[in-house]
Structure 1
Amino acid sequence: MPAIVGPVAINSVGGGVLNFGDSFYISPKSASKTSAGSGALNTGNFIITNNGLSATNTIDPDVNDQDIVGNS
């Protein structure tokens, strides 16, 4: 549905999608990867994590997980 958008001032966008009017398909413009060891990303009030030995494999043989080339 067409939209009429008045004056807009955007001071900063710290991630996410900013969309005005119609859109059929919105895709991400950035991609990231996080590697963390055992028990590293736990959240909560009372966490007890018992880890004997933790090793995180950060080897990525396929290199590209989510291509953003040509997605402008």
Structure 2
Amino acid sequence: MRHSEFWTLVEDEFGAAYGRSLAADQVLLALEDRTPRQALDAGVDPKAVWLALCEAMDVPPERRLGKDPARRPRSG
């Protein structure tokens, strides 16, 4: 997963403003007590950061691929 895909998923699930706020402020144990933004800046794989955020925020598994996964760019 690319950083741009991470941010698309964050915005799809939480909205632009709240999603950016969560990424900057929500400290997650699964990310070694870092925020998602700190983890990304430290080089943690965006997919791992996204999954940690999903777990912490109780995002249902069926929504973890975003609103319309067919429209998202493919990783590869």
Give the TM-score, by structure 2 length.
Answer: 0.18
TM-score by length of 1: 0.19
Of Structure 1 and Structure 2, the greater helix share is in 2
